[in-house]
Amino acid sequence: MTSPSLTVDTPAGTVRATAGPRQDDAVVFELGGAMRGSVHVTGTHHPHHWDQFTAVRACLGPVNAYQTTAPDDALPRLTRSRTRYHGSLTLYPDDYADRPQVSVYPMTSADGHEPPEKTAATLTAVLRACAAHVAQRDDLPVILDVSRRSGTLPPCCASSPGRQPTTRPKPPAWSGRHSQPTPRGAPPWPPGEPSPAGSSLPRTRSCC
């Protein structure tokens, strides 16, 4: 079976992106032409519902950057440059009227610098092309379902289709920058009120 190959016209030249076999919840593209490296595409959640996986996210590098960090030498680069880059792009379905169809996480070099405009446009074009390809694949429902189970269910349930957690899924760590976490050691009742007799922190039940 021939691996799907994309041809992407970018400000830096033509980039070829060849899709490898699906890896459970992801497709990894190997880059050639004007870029070298790889792009990882997986399923991700609805912007307002953590357990509804209906979008796709493309990350620069061979892994899901929201779960693990790729070594700097595994990050993509332009063929004529040694600088490697981090970054991601999320592609939402057209029916999300309250969100742009494409959301781009800022691109940065491995040493933390913003890329030149031409480079940023090239990286964005390649990420979008890879994400759009996965969004049109026949096995997209499988990718989204496996992504949902691995992203929202406890480890004991992630490999068991049809089983649901009995507690609300924990949002990804990066979303916490907009929230106010409860300080460590703070009681679960309002400040200034005595704790109910015999009370303790609420337990969470495993779905297993």
- State which residues form the domain around 79: 5-152
**Does 192 reside within a domain?**
no
Query: What's the pLDDT score for residue 85?
Result: 97
**Does 185 reside within a domain?**
no
Contact 35, 29 (CB under 8 A): no
**Does 11 reside within a domain?**
yes
Query: What's the pLDDT score for residue 206?
Result: 36
Cα separation of 59 and 133, whole Å?
A: 14
Which helix (H) or strand (E) segment holds residue 22: the answer is none
Contact 54, 34 (CB under 8 A): no
Centroid of chain to Cα 107? 14
In tens digits, the chain (208 residues) has pLDDT values of: 557 899 999 999 999 999 999 988 999 999 999 999 999 999 998 887 778 899 999 999 999 998 888 899 999 999 999 999 999 999 998 776 666 688 999 899 999 999 999 999 999 999 999 999 999 999 999 999 999 887 654 444 443 333 333 333 344 433 333 334 434 444 433 444 343 444 333 333 333 3
**Does 72 reside within a domain?**
yes
Query: What's the pLDDT score for residue 67?
Result: 87
Cα separation of 60 and 39, whole Å?
A: 5
For the chain, the domain total comes to 1
Query: What's the pLDDT score for residue 181?
Result: 42
**Does 201 reside within a domain?**
no
**Does 53 reside within a domain?**
yes
**Does 139 reside within a domain?**
yes
**Does 82 reside within a domain?**
yes
